[in-house]
Amino acid sequence: MQDLPDRLKIRSLLPWIIVVVVLVILGWAAFAIVSAVRQSAQTAQQAMQPVTDLSADLGTKVAQVLNPTPTVVVDPVTIVHQVRSLARLETIQYTVEKVITAETGQGTFGFLFGDRLLLVAHGIVIAGVDMEQLGPEDMELRGNVLYVALPGPEVFVATLDNEKSFVYDRETGILRRGDINLETTARRIAEDEIEQAAVEDGILNLARQNAENYLYRLLIEIGNYSEVIFVTPTPEP
């Protein structure tokens, strides 16, 4: 009679035991399914890897064809045409930016035969005084005062900075190939315009003032002069 309660307890626990066993079986089945799916995905990825590599390689080759890297070959022979001594006193530098539009074949049929480009030109203008033109006759000592007739200021350099200058936009007609000389023409005009802009802004006057200030301190320091006066040189007849 004592075994009856124990049997009843076992029967009451039997459904829970069955549930636990079923859950364990389902867990193992789910784990097996996930492992199989993951293995299949890895196998598919490995199978598709050659196709992926081929597509990437093909994309790289197409990019190289559409945007080729230029090959530059420099001739090892260098020819020096002239060597000249200079005595230029550079006293000021301007940095100028200009936007240049160069075009050909514009008009009614410009969309067919026209060629236009927009160049953002970044240039440098350097000015100063050529001390080679200063001779003994341009300096006169009166008592303890030195009179100096400096040469006129000049623009020594007016050039484009190729690293910062670039073609912003270009439009070529449907029936025309781009003019290979158009950008060269635009760059040459840009240099002239940059120099003209600097001159109009007063670069030569500033170059002369800076030269006089520098030479004044130098001559006072090295000479026993009470004063240094700069005069305008007499123009040659």
Give me the tens of pLDDT residue by residue for the chain, a chain 237 residues long: 444 455 555 556 566 666 666 666 766 766 667 666 566 656 656 655 665 665 666 556 555 555 667 777 777 778 887 887 778 899 999 999 999 888 877 776 556 767 888 999 999 999 999 999 988 888 889 888 999 999 999 999 999 998 999 988 888 867 667 777 888 888 999 999 999 999 999 999 999 999 999 999 998 888 888 899 998 876 555
Write out the two tokens for 155. 């623009």
Residue 211 lies in a domain: yes
Could you tell me if 107 and 25 lie in one domain?
A: no
Does one domain contain both 65 and 97?
A: no
Q: What is the tally of structural domains in the chain?
A: 2
| The predicted structure's pLDDT at residue 212 | 94
Q: Two tokens at 173?
A: 């007609």
Can you give the pLDDT at residue 182?
Answer: 86
Q: What is the pTM of this model?
A: 0.65
Structural domain including 205 reads: 90-231
Q: Do 35 and 147 fall within a single domain?
A: no
Among candidate residues 195, 201, 185, 180, the one with its CA nearest the CA of residue 101: 185
CA atoms of 182 and 129, how far apart (whole Å):
35
Q: Is residue 79 part of a domain?
A: no
SS3 23: helix
Indicate if 65 and 164 belong to the same structural domain.
no
Residue with tokens 């075994």: 3
CA distance 114 to 170: 11
pLDDT for the residue numbered 183: 85
Structure tokens at 104: 């050909």
Is the domain of 119 the same as that of 203?
yes
- Give CA torsion, residues 46, 47, 51, 57, to 10 deg: 30
Residue 175 shares a structural domain with residue 206: yes
Query: What pLDDT is stored for residue 91 in this prediction?
Result: 94
What does the pLDDT read at residue 1? 46
Give helix 203-222 / helix 182-200 axis angle, nearest 10°.
60
| Residues in CB range of 110: below 8 A, 6 or more apart | 116, 173
pLDDT at 79: 84
**What is the per-residue pLDDT for 222?**
85
